[in-house]
Structure 1
Amino acid sequence: MARWGAKVRISFDNRRTRLHAKSWIFHRNTGATTAYIGSSNLSSSAMLEGLEWNVRLAALESPSLLEKINAAFESHWESEEFRAFDPDDDKQMEVVRKALDQARGGSGPDPILSFFDLKPHGYQQTMLDTLAAEREHGHTKNLVVAPTGVGRTMVAAFDYARMESEAQAGSLPRLLFVAHRERLLDQSLTAFRHVLKDTAFGEKLVGGARPQKGDHVFASIQSLNAGGRIDALDPEHYEVGLPPSATTARTCAGGSTDAPPTRCGCGTPSNSDSSRPSTISGSTMVRT
Structure 2
Amino acid sequence: MEVSKLIIALQRSKNVSIFTGAGVSAESGIPTFRGKDGLWNKYDPTELATLYAFREDPLKVWKWYLWRMRLIALAEPNTGHRAIAEMEELFPNFLLITQNVDGLHRRAGSKKLVELHGNIFEGKCRSCGKRYSEEELSSIFPLADKNYLRKLSEDEFKERILNGLREEELPECLVCGDLIGPGVVWFGESLPETALSKAYRASESCDVFFSVGTSALVQPAASLPLIAKRSGALLVEINPEETPISSYCNFVFRAPSSEVLSEILLRLKEQR
Under a length normalisation based on structure 1, what TM-score does the superposition of the two structures give?
Answer: 0.30
**Of Structure 1 and Structure 2, which has the larger fraction of its residues in helix?**
2
